[in-house]
Amino acid sequence: MKYISILLNHLSIISKFLSYKNKFINSPKTNNEIILIELCPLINLQTTFHILVSLILIRKFKIIFFYFGGYKINLFTSLLRYFLKKKNFEVINLSVKPKIKNNIKKFKSLKQCINYNYKGYKIGKYIYQSYCRLYLKSSLNLEDEKLYKLVSLSHAQIDYLENFFLKKKIKYLITTHVVFVNYGALALVAKKYDTKIKIIYPEKNYSYIRTLSVDKKNLLQIDKYYEYKKEFKKKKNKSQILRQSREELIKRIYKNKTNWKVGNVASYSKRNILKIKSNKPKIAIMPSCFFDAHHFFRYSLFPDVYQWMDFTLNHASKTDFEWFVKPHPNNLPINFNVYKFFEKKYPTIRFLDSNTSNLTFKKNKFASMFTFQSSAVHEFAFMNIPSVVVTDNVSVNYKFGQPIKSINDYKKLIYKADQIKNRINLKDVLEFNYMWRFSKSTSFREDTLDEDLSDKKNNLFSFKNSLNILNEFKEDKLFKKNTNKVMLEIFK
């Protein structure tokens, strides 16, 4: 059914755009500047929107579409790619088939993989990410040949992209990711050739969009959270927006009235508050996904979530405190196999249901919370529960979210988990929450395209929603007018 929907979507795009006749032709421009746009061929709504964007931007630039794909994607996108090529568009599959290199030296440590570079490109963290996510491994197996196949892939990908960018004058890259080997290599090479990288995030089926200008220094798929304090100083009406932030936090945490949810789980539901009978100091542990949360930030004390968890539980089990692990509510299902392993290995540690309300920790007077990189640190701070973080994270600009930089210091804090120094300043919490919750970072540009399209949550695979924005664009409605205006302002 999924692939039928994709084919119908591609046919609809072709049908609509045939009516544009000669307007939809990728004519060469005198300045020869190029925009490289991800085609997203298997995601209906993104495919449609990115092609609509190209229809606007061909007035100023030459457009090249790209995608990463093997046999299946090539097969199911052949008709759309044929149509685009007939309209003078380049459509390039950036996937490469690497020759497996037998002379690649095996990594001696996880850290060596993280720091690995090829031709000056720091590709190691992307290899790490891809290995764990692609093969569903909670940590690296340094003897696994699949790991070194990814190394070979990274070499081939960079070699190909180097040659590609050298021949083209690419001013902008519109992509969906800057993580994992394929996208990571693309971002690294784009950075070298001074290409501006943009990610357009849809909200409510492109009723609204948030356009991220990727920070070239760090190439993170997130805004410049490490500049929140500096950016907040430039805000006007600070007292008013801090009150707004406080009201939102109160509603979210104590009244559970917000759309700020993780998956389908309300993190502060009053129905899932546990009563814990214990006179011992109680400590919470909030892990991230074991397979899909590695090196998305600038630095980390531990190479991955698994290594952090094992270290933490090993020492926690030797204390006289009550330790409670709450799995992330939006985990990949395979995470629970890892939790079962840890439950057997550390029987004194209690593991909670992922649906457990975070109010449990407030009601039962938890002494502290330990986490890898949780975005809930500011919520715990608002509940006056100090956190210990081991990774760069979104609240790093503030004392309550600053990570521990030394293994020895971290180890000491585990044994003093009931006496964690409270560095919580309410103004800092409210300031961070405003910058984070209300998306006020200058890294993002927010635009409304058509509020009338915003009835439902995002469904990027919906053929119906894709057809809807096609019709809106074709009939010169508000959606087309605003999309034109916004795109021409962003891509100058």
Q: Is the pLDDT of residue 344 over 50?
A: yes
pTM of the model: 0.93
Q: What is the 3-state secondary structure (H, E, C) of 378-444?
A: HHHHHCCCCEEECECCCCCCCHHHCCCCCHHHHHHHHHCHHHCCCCCCHHHHHHHHHHHHCCCCCCE
Range in 51-65, 76-90, 180-194, 352-366 the model is least confident about: 76-90
User: What DSSP line would sit under 43-86, residue for residue?
Assistant: -HHHHHHHHHHHHHHTTTSEEEEEE---HHHHHHTHHHHHHHHH
Distance of CA 439 to the CA centre of its chain: 15
Whole-angstrom Cα distance, residue 431 to residue 418? 27
CB under 8 Å to 373, separation ≥6 — which residues? 288, 293, 296, 297, 300, 389, 390, 391, 392, 393
d(CA 111, CA 78): 42
Contact 221, 229 (CB under 8 A): no
pLDDT value for 261? 45
Contact 64, 112 (CB under 8 A): no
Name the CATH superfamily, with its identifier, for domain 230-437. Glycogen Phosphorylase B; (3.40.50.2000)
Q: Please give the share of the chain, as a percent, with pLDDT higher than 90.
A: 69
Vertex 264 angle, CA 262 and 266, to 5°: 65
Token couple for 491:
């891509």
Residues in CB range of 191: below 8 A, 6 or more apart: 197, 216, 219
Question: What are the boundaries of each domain within the chain?
Answer: 2-223+443-490, 230-437
The letter for the amino acid at 438 is F
Residue 114 in tokens: 């993280």
**Residue located via tokens 């999924």:** 2
Mean pLDDT of the chain: 91
Residue at 372: amino acid letter = F
The 10s digit of each residue's pLDDT in 1-43 is 677 888 888 888 888 777 765 556 666 556 689 999 999 888 8
For the stretch 430-482, pLDDT in tens is 999 999 988 778 899 999 998 876 656 778 888 888 888 888 887 768 899 99
By the 8 A CB rule, do 28 and 21 touch? Answer: no
pLDDT in tens, 38-58: 998 888 889 999 999 998 998
Report which residue type is found at 168: K
Distance CA 203, CA 361 (A): 32
Rounded mean pLDDT of 123-144? 97
Counted residue by residue, the chain has a size of 492
Residue 481: how many other CB atoms lie within 10 Å: 14
Residue 355, Cα to own-chain centre: how many angstroms? 22
pLDDT score, position 464: 84
For residues 437 and 431, the answer to whether their CB atoms sit within 8 Å is no
HSE on the CB side for 347, CA within 13 Å?
1
